[in-house]
Every structure is written in structure tokens, then in C-alpha cells.
Structure 1
Amino acid sequence: MKKNTSNLWTKNFLGVSFTSFFLFLTFYLLMVTLPIYVIDDMHVTQSQIGLVVTVFIISAVIVRPFSGILLEAIGRKKMLLLSLLIFFIASVLYFFGHSFGWLLAIRFFHGIGFGIATTATGAIVANIIPEDRMGEGMGYYATFMNLAMVIGPFLGLTIIHSFSFQVLFIFCGIFSLISFICALFVNIPQNVNKINNIGFKLGDLFEKKSIPISIVTGLLAFGYSGVLSYMSVYAKGLNLVQASSFFFVVYAVFLLASRPFTGKWFDQYGENKVIYPAILLFGIGTFILSYTGNAITLLISGALIGVGYGTMTSGFQTIAINSVEANRRSMATATYFTFMDSGVGLGSFVLGIVAATSGYRNLYLYTSILIIFGLGLYYLLHGRMKSKSEQITRESEIQA
């Protein structure tokens, strides 16, 4: 068992974590409120509502593969600050988005800043975290995003119900600016063994070593999109609206409670000891969701999904980063997030069709089956190779 001796909670680690927190806080503030905004203020059709999310995700997915190259070619801090500046400008532009077409253009521009910035923070934090505490560090870093996921929707809905959308946009501008200021004070390590011959070939846009784990990530993110996009609608049909408002709160509480243990176990005992149970918990939680009929089972599913999916995603990102050399971490991070975003975007669309034709109970039942398939896919693409390498390492230590 490996012991963690390096300092994790440094000024730089906290700086990049808070940069990410305020970035995602702005993202979630808008994610849950803009659909209401376009219905109430722009009177768009039901079929147009999803475009405010889809356009944002599309631009983020498009820019991610190129962002990994730009981070290495131009410099991580320069690209981080540039992307956060784009994100801040886009946040301010919402004040002038008085037509639906103009709003979609702002969303596309906003997605570009988000795609580059999230890739940059993920790559930067991987070079700040000590190597012997990578799993633990990435877990805590992901916790800042998880907190934003809980606080953002609650704060956003509170603001628009108590004040107005103009006040909401003020808060978005302030949080975006704080994210930029936090990044200014982060001392970002110079790119180790910087790559000078990278271009825009397919092999440079995607890090091939991190593709296997990214495929698994994309598949399971596809399944999670059903929880993210349709859980509140499902709960409303079950007359569990009040309980559903606490679903992601329970999700975050149990994730936070498990984080001090799961990250350390990842570093000490290896990823398989953490990832297999995490995927299984995610699947069980989704299965319970498909049969829920009361508030207790709804919240139990939230707890299991929180521990399972939350632990799994930070673990997958750590695996993607650990699969490459230090100077390829930007590309590995970009590849990881490209597959994750694509899974969420495609899943929201496809699972919406499934829900419309088969109902939400069947949607979550089918999703739980898909997650178990994802468990087998993880074994085939990564888990079995890791088990073999760990066995070889143990045999070498015994012989020594």
C-alpha cells in the first residue's frame, strides 16, 4: 500500500479549484434558468427550448479537441485567461440577448470559452497535484464542480423567482469575473517537455492513449444524461416535486462524505478497487429510480448515484491523465471531456425519444442495463489490463 506524503492543499490547487467552481457555478445558473427565460420572455415553442443547451454543448465539443493543442502550443495560463475572458464577455452579453437568434449566438460563443477553460483547468490541476496523490486530488477537484452543480440550480431558481433575469445575468457576470481573478493568482507550472511539432492532424486532436477510458466515460455519461435532463419531469409525474428538489442535494452530500475515502483508496489500492463498485452503485441507483414510488426511494437513488457516478467520473479523468506523459495531459483532458460532453448531449436527445415512447420508468430501467454493460466495457478496455499490470508488479516485488 502506497502512502501519500506530498502536500495537496496548496495555494495553486485551491486557486484553480475555485476558478473551476465559479466557472461551473455560472454554467449551472444558466442551464436551469435559460429554458424558463426563453419560454417566459421570448415565447418560443417547446421544440426550440432544448436549443439553448444543445448549441452550448455543440460549441464546447467542437472546440475541445483543438483546445488541447492550443494549450500546449500557446501556453496553459495564456489560454486559460483568454478562455475565461471569453466566458466573462459572453456572460455580459446576455443583457443584450433580446431575440432568440441572438441568444443562440451568445450561447455558441459562451460554449467556446467554457470548452477551452474547462480543458485548461483540468490539465493545469493535473500538473499541480502531487503524483502520489493524483486520485485523491482529482477527486477533491471534482468536488468543487459537484458543489457548483448543487448550488447553481438552487441559486438560479431563487434569483429569478425573487428578483428578475436581469439580476441573474448580473450574478453570472460577477461569478465569471471572480473565476478570471482566481486564475490570475495561480502559478501555473511550465509545460514539461513542451511539444513543438503538434498540428491539427487527427492524431494531435485526440490523445489515443486516453481514448479507451474516454469511450467508457462517454457511454456512462450517455446514461447519466437521463438523470440530469429528465429526473425532475419524472418526479413531477410521480407527485414527488418537493422531494426532487433535494435529489441533487443528497447526491452532493453523499458524494462529499465519500470523497475523503474514495480518492485515497484510488491511490493506495488501484483504480479497479474503486471504479468497479462505483459503476455498480451508479447502476443500482438508476435501477431503484426506475421503480421509485415515494420520496425515500427517490433520495436513496440520489445518494447511490451521487457516490457512484461522482466517484466514477473523477476516477476516469485521473486514469485518462495517468495514461499519458506530462506534456500530453492537455490533449488527454480534451479527449476525456469531448467524449463526456458528447455522451451527455447525445443521451439527452436519444433518451428523450425513449421517454416519449416508453415512459420514464422504462427509460431508467433501460439505462441501468446500459450501465451494467458499461461495467463490462470498462473491464474490456481498461480494467483487465490494469489487473494484469498490478499482478506483474506484485510478482516483481515478491521476487525482489
Structure 2
Amino acid sequence: MNKPPLWTKNFLLNSIANFLIYLVYYLLMVIIATYAMDDLQATPSEAGLASGIFIVAGLVSRIFSGRLIDKVGRKKMIYVGLAVYSLATLLYFSANNLSVLLITRVLHGIGWGIATTTTATIVVNIIPTERRGEGISYFAMSVTMASAIGPFLGIYLYDHASFDAILVVSVVLLVIVCLAVYFLNVLEVTLTEEQLKNMQGLMLDNFIEVKALPISIIGAMVFFCYSSIISFLSAYTKEINQMDAGSLFFIVYSTAILISRPLTGRWFDEKGENFVMYPSFLLFAIGLVILSQTNQGVILLSAAIFLGFGFGTFSSCGQAIAIKKSPAHRMGLATSTFLAIAELGIGIGPFFLGLLIPIVGFRGLYINMAVVVILSMCLYHYLHGRKSMRGI
């Protein structure tokens, strides 16, 4: 029996748009703190605020946009997100003091949150239902590719050109995004009067999809552990004199994700979520243990492979579970619920883990994170895995 096509025009256009939106995010994220300190004379804590406030604004906008996507219309919402995102990008040109930069970062985060939540919702209806796990895994590769290219390109342009050069590239990329969205055919959802009535007011379930909460909470724990890598790997590799291997870490990590996601997404659809989720926890935990014991470059890069297989599988398949558990007319809310709550782990992780490092050191940090991942697997089994085994 032939499977329905996955690589359609709409799937490609939506994936390209998502890739470019994230590419602009990474271009600026990696250098914004340095720019604030070098050009605006900000203190390190103020520079950290300029970096982190973007994520906070994005998380808040995800919660509110998830509620509005199907009420306002998906294509309208992505245009709203892109309008705010583009306006903020242009405002960077006049961000000549810290206050203006912080305001710009907030607006930029809001636009990013709306746009990326909408593209993630749109793709669900583009993907055939029986290939949803596989399709979301391929779609998530657009973020992986952006995370591999964006930091390198951002640092290169900042070192060899200027901050304004990064902004010009970002504006050009956003023009391409707008063109891709213009030619994108979006399947809109028609809500019934009862569904519209239920979405009125400030009740909790108008902002959060309750059925997506279990996997989202587990996601917050897993993403919390991942924050130990993105926040402290550079300092760790410097401490153990493995900076050369450290510079290749995320390239190897991203390659592992690109290789594994098509396979794990297909297995998700054909063999069920438990078949891929339990190994993802174990591989992530093994990667953290290897990372904690690193004393050679080859060991560091082998950890990157395990971490890519483990975390990469969880992040895409976790989103697929959130959508699978939720009603069709609340896919936008399910998407925003998972992304917002899971990414909260990345938002709060660096602060709390930074308090832990002076006590246990970097090696102790990664061992502790491996334990948290195993605890996350146990929670997954209790909240979801055992029910899935019974077909509940």
C-alpha cells in the first residue's frame, strides 16, 4: 500500500519558512550579549538580560498565540508574527542604548513566539495523519539545521563584518520568509459556535491544552537537562582543555539528529511512541554520563552523538505525542503548550544549574543531569508510557 506523500510544496514552503525564522533567531542570539557589552557598555548581567528576555517574551507569546491561532486564522497569525518579528529586526538598527535594545528584544521574542508556534501548528495539517511522527521529525530538522548554521554565521559576520551586516542578512532572510508564506496554502479550521464559546474568557484551558500537559512537564525536565549543555559546555571544554573538540561538538550533535530523526519519526508512526521514547531517554542519559567523564576529544564527540540521538528524538516525538493526545481543533494550543512549557526548562535551567556548579563541578553537574533524565523516563512511564502499552 502506497503511503500518502509527505514532501509536498506546502510542507517544503512551511519548513523553509521555519528554518529561516530560526536562522535569524540564532544569528542574533549568539552575539547579542557581546554586542551589548562591546557597543553599549552593558555589564555582563545586563547583557545576559538582553539575551534571556527574548526567550521569556517568546514563551509568553506562545501561550497567548496558541489560543488565537485557530480563532483568528493560521495564515493571518503567521503574518502577524512575521510583522512583529520584522519590525523588531529593523529596530535593532536604532538600538543605540540598553533600554531600546531590551524593548527590541521583547518585541523580537514576541514575533518569534507567534511565528514559530504558527508554523508548527500549520505543519500538523499538512502532514498525513499516518505519517505524523515522521513528518514532524523532518520538520524539526529545520530547527536543527538553523542551530548548526546560525551560530557559526552570526559569529563569523560579527567578527569579520559588523552587527549591521547581521541585521541586513536577517532582513533579507525575512523577505524570503514572507514570499514563502505568501505561496503557502494553509488549511484553516472552522470552529463551531460551541467551540468559539468555550474559548471565551480567561479560563486555564483557553491558554493551555490540558491533555498535552503530562508530556509537556516531562519535556520541561528533559529540556532543563539540555540547558546544561548549551549553557556550560564551552566553560567545561575550556576547563578540561578540549576546546578544539568543543568547537566541533554541535556540528557532530546536529549531524546525529539529522541522521536519526527520519528513522525515529517513521518508527514512531509504525511501532508506537514507546518504541522510540524509552531509548531516547536512555541515550540522552548515556550521553550525559560520557560527557561527565570526558578527557579526550574523541570521547567528547562520542557524547555528542548519543546526546543528538537522545535529545533530538525526544524533542520532536514529544511534540508529536502532545498533538496526538489533543483534539483536532486544539492542535494550536497543544503545540504552544508543549513548546512553551518544555522551553521553560531551558529558560530557568542556566540560573539554577549555575548555583549547582560551584558545589559539584561540571562533571558532577552532568552526572546529576543524567539522573534527572532517568527520573524523567520514570515519570513518562507513569503518566503516558504504561497507558500507551495498554492502548488507553
**Coarse TM-score class (shorter-chain normalised):** over 0.9
Q: Does structure 2 retain, via aligned residues, the 8 Å contact 1:71–1:120?
A: yes
Distance in 1 (CA, whole Å) between partners of 2:277 and 2:215 is: 12
Matched, 1:343 2:345: yes
Matches within 5 A, 1:252-267: 252-267=254-269
Deviates more, 1:69-78 or 1:186-195: 186-195
Q: Does structure 2 retain, via aligned residues, the 8 Å contact 1:85–1:180?
A: no
How far the C-alpha of 1:351 sits from its partner, in A, is: 1.0
Matches within 5 A, 1:69-80: 69-80=67-78
Q: Which amino acid aligns with 2:65?
A: S
What residue ranges of structure 1 are gaps of 5+ in the alignment?
391-400
1:153-200 deviation line (CA, Å, top 9, x unaligned):
011111111111111111122222222221111100021545322123
How far the C-alpha of 1:266 sits from its partner, in A, is: 0.7
How far the C-alpha of 1:239 sits from its partner, in A, is: 1.7
* Equivalent residue number for residue 196 of structure 2: 196
* Equivalent residue number for residue 309 of structure 1: 311
* Equivalent residue number for residue 139 of structure 1: 137
Structure 2 vs 1, CA of residues 291 and 95 (structure 1 numbering), >3 Å: closer, same or farther? same
Q: Does structure 2 retain, via aligned residues, the 8 Å contact 1:127–1:326?
A: no
What residue ranges of structure 2 are gaps of 5+ in the alignment?
none
Distance in 2 (CA, whole Å) between partners of 1:304 and 1:288 is: 9
SS at match of 1:211: helix
Q: Does structure 2 retain, via aligned residues, the 8 Å contact 1:317–1:336?
A: yes
* Equivalent residue number for residue 297 of structure 2: 295
Deviates more, 1:62-71 or 1:263-272: 62-71
Q: Does structure 2 retain, via aligned residues, the 8 Å contact 1:212–1:382?
A: yes
* Equivalent residue number for residue 180 of structure 1: 178
How far the C-alpha of 1:358 sits from its partner, in A, is: 2.7
* Equivalent residue number for residue 249 of structure 2: 247
* Equivalent residue number for residue 92 of structure 2: 94
Q: Does structure 2 retain, via aligned residues, the 8 Å contact 1:283–1:372?
A: yes
Matched, 1:227 2:229: yes
How far the C-alpha of 1:56 sits from its partner, in A, is: 0.7
Distance in 2 (CA, whole Å) between partners of 1:312 and 1:236 is: 29
How far the C-alpha of 1:352 sits from its partner, in A, is: 1.6
* Equivalent residue number for residue 377 of structure 2: 375
Identity over the aligned pairs, expressed in percent?
40
Q: Which amino acid aligns with 1:224?
A: Y
Q: 2:82 aligned to 81, 84, 91, which one? A: 84
* Equivalent residue number for residue 393 of structure 1: none
Q: Does structure 1 retain, via aligned residues, the 8 Å contact 2:70–2:188?
A: no
Distance in 2 (CA, whole Å) between partners of 1:46 and 1:148 is: 26
Structure 2 vs 1, CA of residues 47 and 41 (structure 1 numbering), >3 Å: closer, same or farther? same
Distance in 2 (CA, whole Å) between partners of 1:336 and 1:268 is: 23
TM-score by length of 1: 0.94
Q: 2:44 aligned to 43, 46, 61, which one? A: 46
* Equivalent residue number for residue 7 of structure 1: 5
Q: Does structure 2 retain, via aligned residues, the 8 Å contact 1:13–1:125?
A: yes
Q: Does structure 2 retain, via aligned residues, the 8 Å contact 1:4–1:133?
A: no
Q: Does structure 2 retain, via aligned residues, the 8 Å contact 1:81–1:184?
A: no
| Aligned residues between the structures | 388
Distance in 1 (CA, whole Å) between partners of 2:187 and 2:211 is: 23
Matched, 1:333 2:362: no
1:9-50 deviation line (CA, Å, top 9, x unaligned):
000001110110001001111111111111211222222221
Distance in 2 (CA, whole Å) between partners of 1:34 and 1:292 is: 30
Q: Which amino acid aligns with 1:295?
A: G
Distance in 2 (CA, whole Å) between partners of 1:135 and 1:176 is: 28
Distance in 2 (CA, whole Å) between partners of 1:282 and 1:172 is: 33
Q: Does structure 2 retain, via aligned residues, the 8 Å contact 1:25–1:149?
A: yes
Q: Does structure 1 retain, via aligned residues, the 8 Å contact 2:261–2:313?
A: yes
How far the C-alpha of 1:4 sits from its partner, in A, is: 6.6
SS at match of 1:239: coil
Distance in 2 (CA, whole Å) between partners of 1:190 and 1:203 is: 21
Structure 2 vs 1, CA of residues 4 and 40 (structure 1 numbering), >3 Å: closer, same or farther? farther
Q: Does structure 2 retain, via aligned residues, the 8 Å contact 1:21–1:145?
A: yes
